[in-house]
Each structure stands twice: as C-alpha cells, then as structure tokens.
C-alpha cells in the first residue's frame, strides 16, 4: 500500500504506477536520502518532537539499511514509487512505529530538493578532480614541448608560428574557467532546503539551522516556496557541464585533425584508438570522436531541463521529476569523457619534425617580416603591402621567405639587409613574442608556473 493511500479508495492503475515511478533512476540518491533522514530525525529529537529512543531507533535502522544496500544484502524494489518511499517502507518494516515518525515535519518535495543538492555537490567535487587530472596531463606535455614549434591557425589556415606547449595551454585556461564555474555553481547549490515542507514549512517547532549544520551546508534556503520549486542549480550545473563539453569537443577536434595523415602532428597510442573492419591500414581516433559526439548529448540534457522548467507555476510540480535523468546523464557523460580523455592525451606521441615542417610552409612568418620593416621606421600599412607583394612573388616562383636572396628582398625595399634572415627565422618569431600570454619560452614558462600554482591550490582546497 502507498504511504499516501489514505485518501484513495482505488489502487493505482499499473500503467500509471509504472509511469509515475522514479525509483529506476532516483535510487542512486539512496545515500543522500538516508543521510538527510538521519539529520532530520536528529533535529526532530533536538527540538523535542520525537524522543531520543525513537531517534536512536530511526538512526540505527537507517544505518542498517545503508549498510545492507552497499553490501548487496538489500535490493531496490522497482515497484516502489521512489527512493524516499522505498527507504521509509523498509525502515518501518524493520523498526515498527518509530519509522512512521521519520516523515514528521517533512514532505517529499523538500526531501528530494535536499537529496539532489547533496548528490550534485558531491558530483561537482568529483568532476573538478577529473578536470585537475587532465590539467596535470596538459602541464606535463607543455613542459616537454616549450620549444616544439608548430603553426598556429586562424580559419584553419596557417597563420603565425607558435609552440605545441603554447597551443595546448590555451585549453588549460579553458579548463581553469570550467573549474571556477563549477565551484561558483557549488556555492549557490550549497543551500539547505529541508524544513520547507510541501511549500509552506510546518507548524512543528523545527530548527532548520540544526539540519544545515548536521549536513554541512553553508546556509539555509531563504523562501520555502522557492526551496521546493527551484531547479536553477540543476540547470546551472548542466550549463557549466555543457561549456566544459564544448571545450573537450574542440580539443577532440584538434586531436582528430592532428593525428590524420594530412597533419601527422601526433600519433595516438594503440590503447586509445581503433581499427577498421575492412581497411587494415586505419587507426581511428574513436575516443576523441565520441567525446566530440557526446557534447550534443549534454547539450540535450540542458535543453531538457530548461524546457521542463520554462512554464511551471509555483510550487512543486511532478514535471520536475524529469530533472534527474537529464542531469544524471550529463554528469555521467562528463565523468566518462574526462576519465578516458586524459589518458588518451597523456599517451600521444608528438611528431615535432612534422610540426616544424608544417610551420616552415604557409608564410607564417609574414607578419614578422612586416614588423621588421616597421622597426626600421616604415608605417605598418606600407610594410604590410610590401610583404604582400613579396608573398605573391614567392608563390609565383615556388619559394619561401627564408629562401629569398638579399637582392630579392632589396628589390622590394632598400630597408632589407642581412638581418632579415634572423628576424624571420621561426625560433626568433616565437621567442620574440615575449608579451605576457604569448608563445615565447619566457611567456610559456610563466603560463606553466601559473598552471602549477592553480593545480596546487585546487588540490589543497
């Protein structure tokens, strides 16, 4: 019999029962539900609403249920309506009438709001740890490739010279922002809703701050109606995860390009690539492709959540049950992607020779050639036009800037002398870009130092 069945004279239709049930996916909240119930019963006792004996029975019973679930001795009843009802029913069977007092001054509305906040707070910490693991991999690769010159791109066209370290550190900065966003989201999630009841609290003399302290929240929610009808924190988390997935997808796209025969900048480890069922020569970047593809899955969860909540009146509505599958799937997808992406990138082989060869083509030192003239006193726009003409000359004669003779340079401007070759060498082009944030060894070393300090700070916090 349903715990709410007193008002009803008919049993729920089986199809409705199956349609209404959420235990198939909210059973993962069992630990949070039990911890929340232990704190709630403790608070009820401290406020003299239930006796110490009843509280002890409830707490011991709940701890026994938790232990049995985790040891596999107690299986979830998929016929139960939800995880809250399942645990309360098992508790009541085990300890009798004291179990029936657990739900005093509480509704499933504030109970589930508590459980989901507790669960997602825990998951944010796990996701941040996984991002830090990836940051450590990027850091190690960057430290080994500070002098590995490669072309940088705009519009996927070779643009200016940079280094592999400088390139991948761009992703480390994106991931830093992801961590900060998640931690910021955590702060707003860290509000304790229990005690709000169905929507208008309770007439019992409870103390919500006791429950807050017992559960380790930083504050209690401000308004009881908002407490049970708010899912901003779920949507915000899914938004943060969507941005994170976008960054992983962009990084994956780079890897997919780099390991292609057309680039051959890197080679994937055999353990993180697959073959073809028909083409024996193939080595496919399936991990990176799947990460790229799963970004759409997380975006879909965000759209689901926004759509579910977009027109709900206050307070709780059953529509909100749909929040869990969406956010659970987003969290699971992110964790799975991060856990495989980091070791995939860690085990790549960097082909510095091919990167350098690609950097020698495409006139990526053209800007430096123009800057050479500017430093001689020529206006930049004039220098730009002259170098443009030099590039056309090189294309027509199948030459590179570095291969031109001094006489050829002087045919375009008398400002050129033999110092032009040093000025347009790729090593000079990179290391003269000493502006903070740039690709020079000096600048990259600072970026590496900043990343080390960031990782250390986040690991210790």
pLDDT at 4 over 50: no
Question: 5-104, what's its fold?
Answer: Fumarase C; Chain B, domain 1 (1.10.275)
- The backbone torsions φ and ψ at residue 413, rounded to the nearest 5 degrees and listed phi first, read -165, 135
Q: Which two tokens stand for residue 345?
A: 């990138």
| Residue appearing with tokens 């830093």 | 176
- The backbone torsions φ and ψ at residue 149, rounded to the nearest 5 degrees and listed phi first, read -80, 140
Record the pTM.
0.93
Average pLDDT across the chain, whole number? 95
| Residue 13 pLDDT | 67
Is the backbone peptide bond immediately before 190 cis, with ω within 30 degrees of 0? no
pLDDT tens figures, 83-111: 999 999 999 999 999 999 999 999 999 99
How much is the average pLDDT of 292-309? Answer: 98
Looking at the structure, give the CATH architecture of the domain made up of residues 117-145+159-208+227-352. Up-down Bundle (1.20)
Read off the DSSP letter of residue 438.
S
- Alpha-carbon separation of residue 89 from 7, 9, 193, 361 (angstroms): 18, 20, 23, 72
| Residue 276 pLDDT | 74
pLDDT at 356 over 90: yes
Q: How far apart are the first and last CA of the chain?
A: 48
| Residue 454 pLDDT | 97
More confident residue, 1 or 319: 319
Domains 5-104 and 361-451 share a fold: no
Asked if residue 221 lies in contact with residue 136, where contact means CB atoms within 8 angstroms, the answer is no
List, by residue number, the catalytic residues: 155, 276
- Alpha-carbon separation of residue 228 from 224, 293, 321 (angstroms): 7, 34, 12
> Which residue ranges make up each domain of the chain?
5-104, 117-145+159-208+227-352, 361-451
Looking at the structure, give the CATH architecture of the domain made up of residues 361-451. Orthogonal Bundle (1.10)
pLDDT tens figures, 209-244: 999 999 999 999 999 999 999 999 999 999 999 999
Percentage of the chain lying above the pLDDT 70 cut: 96
């Amino acid at each position: 019999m349903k715990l709410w069945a007193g008002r009803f004279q008919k049993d729920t239709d089986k199809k409705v029962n199956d349609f209404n049930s959420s235990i198939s996916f909210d059973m993962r909240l069992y630990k949070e539900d039990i911890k929340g119930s232990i704190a709630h019963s403790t608070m009820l006792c401290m406020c003299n609403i239930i006796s110490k004996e009843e509280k002890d029975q409830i707490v011991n019973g709940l701890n026994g249920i938790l232990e049995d679930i985790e040891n596999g001795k107690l299986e979830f009843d998929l016929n139960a309506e939800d995880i809250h009802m399942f645990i309360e029913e098992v508790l009541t069977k085990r300890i009798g009438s004291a179990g029936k007092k657990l739900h005093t001054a509480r509704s499933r509305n504030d109970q589930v709001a508590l459980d989901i906040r507790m669960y997602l707070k825990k998951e944010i910490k796990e996701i941040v740890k996984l991002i830090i693991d990836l940051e450590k991999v990027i850091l190690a690769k960057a430290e080994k490739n500070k002098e590995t010159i490669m072309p940088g791109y705009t519009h996927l066209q070779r643009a200016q010279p940079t280094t592999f370290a400088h390139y991948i550190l761009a992703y480390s900065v994106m991931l830093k922002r992801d961590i900060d966003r998640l931690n910021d989201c955590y702060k707003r999630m860290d509000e304790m809703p229990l005690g709000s009841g169905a929507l208008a609290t309770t007439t019992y003399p409870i103390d919500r701050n006791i429950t807050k302290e017992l559960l380790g929240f930083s504050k209690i929610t401000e308004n009881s109606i908002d407490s049970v009808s708010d899912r901003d924190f779920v949507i915000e988390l899914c938004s943060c995860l969507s941005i994170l997935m976008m960054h992983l997808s962009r990084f994956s796209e780079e890897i997919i390009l780099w390991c292609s025969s057309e680039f051959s900048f890197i080679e994937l480890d055999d353990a993180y690539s697959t073959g073809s069922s028909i083409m024996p020569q193939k080595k496919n970047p399936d991990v990176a492709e799947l990460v790229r593809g799963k970004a759409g899955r997380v975006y879909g969860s965000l759209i689901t959540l926004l759509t579910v909540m977009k027109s709900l009146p206050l307070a709780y509505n059953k529509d909100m049950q749909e929040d869990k599958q969406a956010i659970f799937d987003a969290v699971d997808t992110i964790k799975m992607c991060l856990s495989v992406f980091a070791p995939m990138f860690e085990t790549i082989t960097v082909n510095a020779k091919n990167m350098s060869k690609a950097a020698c083509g495409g006139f990526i030192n053209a800007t430096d050639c123009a800057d050479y003239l500017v430093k001689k006193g020529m206006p930049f726009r004039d220098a730009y036009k002259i170098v443009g003409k030099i590039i056309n000359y090189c294309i027509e004669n199948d030459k590179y800037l570095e291969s031109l003779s001094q006489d050829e340079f002087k045919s375009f401007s008398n400002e050129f002398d033999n110092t032009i070759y040093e000025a347009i060498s790729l090593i000079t082009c990179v290391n003269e870009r000493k502006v903070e944030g740039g690709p020079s060894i000096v600048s990259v070393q600072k970026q590496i130092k900043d990343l080390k300090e960031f990782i250390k700070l986040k690991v210790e916090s």
